[in-house]
Chains A and B, each alone.
Chain A
Amino acid sequence: MSRQKAPSGTLKKVLGFISDYKLSVIFSLILAALSVALTLYIPLLFGDAIDLIIGKGNADIPGIIKILLKAGALAFVCAVLTWIMNTLNNKITYSVVMDIRNRAYTKINSLPLSYIDSHPAGDTVSRMISDADQFSEGLLMGFTQFFSGILTIAGTLILMLMLDWKIALVVAALTPVSLFVAKFVAKHTYEFFREQSSVRAEQTALINEITGNLKTVRAFSKEKDSLDKFGEINERLRKASLKAIFYSSITNPSTRFVNAIVYAAVAFSGAAAVLSGGGITVGILTCLLSYANQYTKPFNEISGVAAELQNALACAARVIEILEESPEKPHKENAVIKTETKGNIEIKNISFSYTPEQRLIEDFSLSVKSGQKIAIVGPTGCGKTTFINLLMRFYDVKSGSIEIDGTDIRDITRQSLRSHYGMVLQETWLMPGTVRDNIKMGKPEATDEEIIRAAKLSHSYSFIKRLPEGLDTVIGEDGGSLSQGQKQLLCITRVMLCDPDILILDEATSSIDTRTEIRVQKAFNALMQGKTSFLVAHRLSTILEADKILYMEKGRILETGTHKELLSLNGRYAALFKSQFSE
């Protein structure tokens, strides 16, 4: 999956992102050109001024003043232009990164569950946050220094040609050496940066896992062992970083060295030209020397930037990998938006497995009439979640079909399909935000009255009331200080508010005390009057009330029928039932 991406391909993609800001980029280019032109012109003025200082009693002071005033005014204009350009570049860069993050985030929301289930969250987070950040820094450097660098090179070359073409040729001839050095270093650093990125991601994943579950780690006094593991990765990261940082930092001194050689060459050929009386003055020599410096400096910068850009590209490639993951299969073109449903569900000969080696559901059929209650029973780990995954289309069946009111669910938009389901899972999830935001998740337009009614129905209102800010209380990451039971009650309230047509309860009340559970159950019963529901059950009452029971084991549905039918079948269900309730 993780193909090694050629950096040139990445560059093209990055340019694609930037193209949204074409106008700003053009404007920034114009500003860069203007400020470079001024930066180059001002030393010329200083050279002229110096040429007017010839020796004792021989200096044209009024002439000098005139030139210097002009230089001063231009320097000021140049500074203003540079500032505008810098601000603009910042804006472009940060906006590009914001766009990329937005796109990546949008992508995450459309990736198939199989991707998310199989990729460590820590790695994805690291791509979204730190890789994107590094990319933005590199890009900014590229922007502020790349354009003006190239322009400075071109401008200086032209000016030098105008001042003295021979010396200019000396400079132009020596320049490729600098470029070659920069390119050589950049080429060799890219791999090191990629290596660094990948070790860093490995470490981030470990940090996420250990820090994210610190309480468990502490409970087993496993900090030391985790630290050993961490230390091992840390040492590898140290080595990889040292290589990446050291090799990339060779660029600057090397190009600076080439520049110094160019400087010496200009000094020699310039001074020789002055001696031979080739029309060159000391002022022009000063100018040429200062240009030789200016000419080579951008090479310095460009090569420095090149190293930085390599790193940025390596990081960008990792973010782009997310963007290029294929999303959930899109809806069929003629997919319908289902606004109403009676809740008739027809499961026809479906087969499904996560991996080809391990077959799970095979050739299973089931017919659920509107308003029926289906209980899913089986020993823990029997694969009840798989069944829910298929109903909700988190995963698609491999063959066969699931129909809702006669329409294949693959012909319905996922959104409208899911909007008919209300789902409460055993593992509660709340988003960071207020209690109100969490309850409203499925129905953002709900009023406070509706929320409170739902909260009362689901018996969460009594504790919400007691929270410091009531509905406005902000709950932190992973539910923060709420107890498992309170979190589950909020999840139930969330579903109550939506008043869904079909209900899926995956041991939804496992963390709630039974006194409350009975009341919640009653509320559910009222809510589900005449509606279809699927219940992963561990309570006898739910099973007895069910219209149909699916007995699952090892991911397969082994027996289907009513309680009575299954008992008389005297198979696995009967055995489970006897062992469970004969106590």
Chain B
Amino acid sequence: MVIILKKLLIYLKKYTLETVLAPLFKMFEATLELFVPLVVKRIIDTGIANNDLTYILKMCVLLAFLAFVGLAFSITAQYFSARAAVGFSSSLRYSLFSHIGTLTHSEIDTLGTSKLITRMTSDINQVQNGINLTLRLLLRSPFVVFGAMIMAFTVDKSSALTFAGTIPVLSLVVFAIMLGTVPLYKAVQKHLDSILLKTRSTLSGVRVLRAFSAEKRDIADFTEKNQLLLSAQQKAARISALLNPLTYVIINAAVIILIYTGAIRVEAGIISQGAVVALYNYMSQILVELIKLANLIITITKSFASARRITEIFDTSPSVTFPEKGAEPDLSKPAVTFTDVSFTYKNAGERSLSGISFTAEKGEKIGIIGSTGSGKSTLINLIPRFYDASSGKIELFGHDISDYSRETLNMLVATVAQKAVLFSGTIRENLLWGNKNADDELLLSAVKTAQAEDIIKAKENGLGEMLTEGGKNLSGGQKQRLTIARALVKKAPVLILDDSASALDLATDLKLRRAINELDFHPLVFIVSQRTSSVMGCDKILVMEDGEIEAVGTHSELLETSEVYREIYMSQNGGANE
């Protein structure tokens, strides 16, 4: 708990002043409230006893004055507290988002996106809420409680012992309930996560669900998950609902003791009737504060659960790190060299790549072919360091890839992934991802090479056409071509096309490959594909099978030497004649 606090409280640092002032002003306000029973005691013991109406009026004006000053203090406190809480959550959200941006593929695989999204949204809101209430009440409430006790001591030491006995019992109850609900609220969050995941997934798969007329069952599944959430919520609520009634009973018991002992002491002539009233009033104040405190503690408990989940994300550090100032590429050296490289995915039993060695020179076209799951994508994912090799050495332009800074490596390697992902914004904004300084001429030439000219031409606003979230208003093939264009804009000396023409028809695919051959910056191109037609023009083809390179050669060499390659080739070209 302390560690979590420490980690998150740095974000309050910018708001130190607010963080101090908010509870301070709250305390001023509370102090004023503590004077109220004393004033009432004077009204009874002095004003009424002496039949002095002016004195009573004076005291009542004092009460009103105390109230006014209290109002000013309180509003000031609320302002500082809101500023601190909102400022805190704002910087926390910013750095969490920034931290998530540093995570590499391996962590993204393990954490899962929906988890990350909940942390960014509802968890942070929960923490903000907690901070706000804490600043407003956490200090105020104990202050009032203990203040009331101290005031009680000034009224009558012996009666005040009741207070000294009541407060620990109350604290015990409050803490026990708090501790009891922590795991229960954790369970609630888990169920909430699961319905979030469900909703997201349904929105993305709505076509398939409807095609299978699976809506009813899908709804039933959701309802069931929702029902689990309900039971978890109720379980937690049942315990936290105990808080108010329990504190109420304890306080009333204390009042009873107070009046009883007070009566004996008044009869003995030790204290006045007004003093008993004052003591009773203090006890009532404690009750009011405790109810506030109890609600606060529920919120704080939830906030802590959220805070813990947030720190979990902060604690996940990227598995791939880059040196600040990296090596300079030596463009005269071989572009890419793999030496006995192996790779195992996190939490996976088997190796996905083993003993990979090859060299690729600048300007070459390297084809990588093999069946699904043979390790093609894994291999090329190692070049831009999406994952780090488990063993072996990968060199890029004369240096180990881990010697390059992130910026340099990013400039050297451009990748087009299997899954075409675009973002909301204009087409131009999407293309500028490759190089933010690119002018329209460069963008259009990349678009032309990627065979995406017709997409731009068909759009009313050309490059300025808006894409909706995820590029939903484009077809799969259109998206693929735009992602290729985006990578070309980078003009990187190493270009990786990871099966990124799969949605293109053969004619477009062919035109694309020809255009890439004619690129003026002569990159080393990796073409990962399952079609022999896509790789047959390559200078070198790596044939992958079960995570190993089965054979290397040109198309015609491989037809002679590689059984696997021949089989793939036959399956595609033989298939045409079936």
**Bound CA span A126–B199, Å:** 10
Contact of A212 among B59, B113, B122, B577 (CB under 8 A): B113
Known: A105-B199, A271-B43, A518-B575. A394 touches B122 (CB 8 A): no
Partner-binding segment picked from B162-170, B360-368, B388-396, B418-426: B418-426
B217 to nearest A CB, angstroms? 6
Residue A448, interface by CB 8 Å: no
Residue A29, interface by CB 8 Å: no
**Contact between chains at B203 and A481 (CB < 8 Å):** no
Most buried by A among B51, B211, B503: B211
Residue interface mask A461-474, B partner, CB < 8 A = 1: 00100000000000
Residue A90, interface by CB 8 Å: yes
Residue A83, interface by CB 8 Å: yes
Residue interface mask A195-210, B partner, CB < 8 A = 1: 0000010011101111
Residue A217, interface by CB 8 Å: yes
Known: A53-B262, A238-B87. A129 touches B199 (CB 8 A): yes
**Contact between chains at B219 and A109 (CB < 8 Å):** yes
Query: Chain A interface mostly helix, strand, loop or mixed?
Result: helix
Partner-binding segment picked from A4-12, A158-166, A281-289, A401-409: A281-289
Contact of A50 among B64, B109, B277 (CB under 8 A): B277
**Bound CA span A421–B210, Å:** 11
**Contact between chains at B93 and A234 (CB < 8 Å):** yes
Contact of A484 among B109, B214, B248, B419 (CB under 8 A): B419
**Contact between chains at A477 and B200 (CB < 8 Å):** yes
Residue A179, interface by CB 8 Å: no
**Contact between chains at B277 and A214 (CB < 8 Å):** no
**Contact between chains at A540 and B576 (CB < 8 Å):** yes
CB nearest neighbor in B for A442: B212
**Bound CA span A285–B197, Å:** 59
**Contact between chains at B568 and A218 (CB < 8 Å):** no
**Bound CA span A80–B433, Å:** 63
Those of A62-88 within 8 Å (CB) of chain B: 64-65, 68, 71-72, 75-76, 78-80, 82-83, 86-87
Residue interface mask B110-152, A partner, CB < 8 A = 1: 0011101100111001001000100010000000000000000
**Contact between chains at B455 and A538 (CB < 8 Å):** no
B562 to nearest A CB, angstroms? 13
CB nearest neighbor in A for B245: A79
Residue A335, interface by CB 8 Å: no
Chain A residues with CB under 8 A of B436: 225
B474 to nearest A CB, angstroms? 7
Most buried by B among A57, A105, A108, A416: A105
CB nearest neighbor in B for A221: B410
**Contact between chains at A253 and B386 (CB < 8 Å):** no
22 examples of A-B residue contacts, CB within 8 angstroms: A53-B266, A53-B267, A90-B241, A91-B237, A108-B203, A218-B101, A220-B434, A222-B433, A242-B83, A267-B43, A267-B63, A274-B48, A286-B277, A381-B474, A416-B213, A425-B208, A486-B372, A507-B476, A511-B502, A512-B372, A514-B530, A579-B507
Q: Which 10 A-B pairs have the closest CB atoms?
A: A380-B477, A223-B101, A485-B372, A260-B67, A56-B269, A86-B241, A253-B74, A79-B245, A90-B237, A75-B252
**Contact between chains at B267 and A227 (CB < 8 Å):** no
Query: Chain B interface mostly helix, strand, loop or mixed?
Result: helix
Residue B316, interface by CB 8 Å: no
Those of B41-63 within 8 Å (CB) of chain A: 43-44, 47-48, 51, 53, 56-57, 59-61, 63
**Bound CA span A394–B83, Å:** 48
**Bound CA span A282–B486, Å:** 84
Partner-binding segment picked from B174-182, B222-230, B329-337, B440-448: B222-230
5 extra interface residue pairs, beta carbon distance < 8 Å, beyond A90-B241, A246-B82, A514-B575: A254-B75, A421-B211, A426-B476, A429-B208, A513-B374
**Contact between chains at B230 and A95 (CB < 8 Å):** yes
Residue B533, interface by CB 8 Å: yes
Residue A297, interface by CB 8 Å: yes
**Contact between chains at A53 and B371 (CB < 8 Å):** no
**Contact between chains at A394 and B207 (CB < 8 Å):** yes
**Contact between chains at B211 and A514 (CB < 8 Å):** no
Partner-binding segment picked from B1-9, B465-473, B552-560: B465-473
**Bound CA span A265–B253, Å:** 30
Residue A399, interface by CB 8 Å: no
Chain B residues with CB under 8 A of A208: 117, 200, 469
**Contact between chains at A513 and B113 (CB < 8 Å):** no
**Bound CA span A502–B196, Å:** 34
Partner-binding segment picked from A16-24, A114-122, A450-458, A562-570: A114-122
Known: A129-B192, A256-B74. A215 touches B417 (CB 8 A): yes
Known: A264-B64, A282-B273, A514-B531. A221 touches B406 (CB 8 A): yes
Residue A361, interface by CB 8 Å: no
Chain A residues with CB under 8 A of B417: 215-216, 219
CB nearest neighbor in A for B262: A53
**Bound CA span A237–B276, Å:** 51
A207 to nearest B CB, angstroms? 5
Chain A residues with CB under 8 A of B267: 53, 56-59, 61
**Bound CA span A242–B87, Å:** 8
Known: A53-B276, A59-B264, A515-B371. A86 touches B78 (CB 8 A): no
Residue A347, interface by CB 8 Å: no
Residue B437, interface by CB 8 Å: no
Residue A102, interface by CB 8 Å: yes
**Contact between chains at B60 and A254 (CB < 8 Å):** no
Residue A133, interface by CB 8 Å: yes
**Contact between chains at B469 and A205 (CB < 8 Å):** yes
Residue A257, interface by CB 8 Å: yes
**Contact between chains at A286 and B280 (CB < 8 Å):** yes
**Contact between chains at A418 and B213 (CB < 8 Å):** yes
**Contact between chains at B507 and A75 (CB < 8 Å):** no
Residue B379, interface by CB 8 Å: no
Chain B residues with CB under 8 A of A108: 199, 202-203, 206
Those of A529-546 within 8 Å (CB) of chain B: 538-541, 544
Contact of A576 among B68, B209, B507 (CB under 8 A): B507
Contact of A290 among B114, B205, B284 (CB under 8 A): B284
Residue A370, interface by CB 8 Å: no
Residue B103, interface by CB 8 Å: yes
**Contact between chains at B120 and A211 (CB < 8 Å):** yes
**Contact between chains at B60 and A50 (CB < 8 Å):** no
Those of A492-534 within 8 Å (CB) of chain B: 494, 498, 507, 510-518, 521
Chain B residues with CB under 8 A of A429: 204-205, 207-208
**Bound CA span A224–B433, Å:** 11
**Contact between chains at A381 and B266 (CB < 8 Å):** no
**Contact between chains at A249 and B568 (CB < 8 Å):** no
Those of B405-422 within 8 Å (CB) of chain A: 406-407, 410, 415, 417-419, 421
**Contact between chains at A257 and B57 (CB < 8 Å):** no
Contact of A432 among B57, B59, B201 (CB under 8 A): B201
Residue A336, interface by CB 8 Å: no
**Bound CA span A219–B132, Å:** 38
